Amino acid sequence: MNNRIKELRKQKKITQDELAKAVEVTRQTIISLENGKYNASLQLAYKISRYFGTNIEDVFIFEEE
């Protein structure tokens, strides 16, 4: 699953650490999400999309295999 977290974060001019604190995860989790090494839980996906004021589908791109 791909995502637009890094792009959205840069648009808002916030650091990985600021986003991590806002959605109550570690900075390492944000790094892993941005690098595609970790898929967010539904709860985390919701928190991230709500933080950016958008829908989950606008942050996370699900591609069927």
pLDDT band at residue 1, thresholds of 50, 70 and 90? confident
Please name the CATH architecture into which domain 2-53 falls: Orthogonal Bundle (1.10)
- Tokens of residue 59, six digits: 């942050």
| Dist. CA 26–CA 11, nearest whole Å | 21
| Dist. CA 54–CA 65, nearest whole Å | 25
The domain spans of the chain are 2-53
Cβ–Cβ < 8 Å for 14, 51: no
Q: What is the pLDDT of residue 65?
A: 67
Mean pLDDT of 30-56: 96
Cβ–Cβ < 8 Å for 5, 61: no
Q: Which residues pair with 60 in a beta bridge?
A: 3
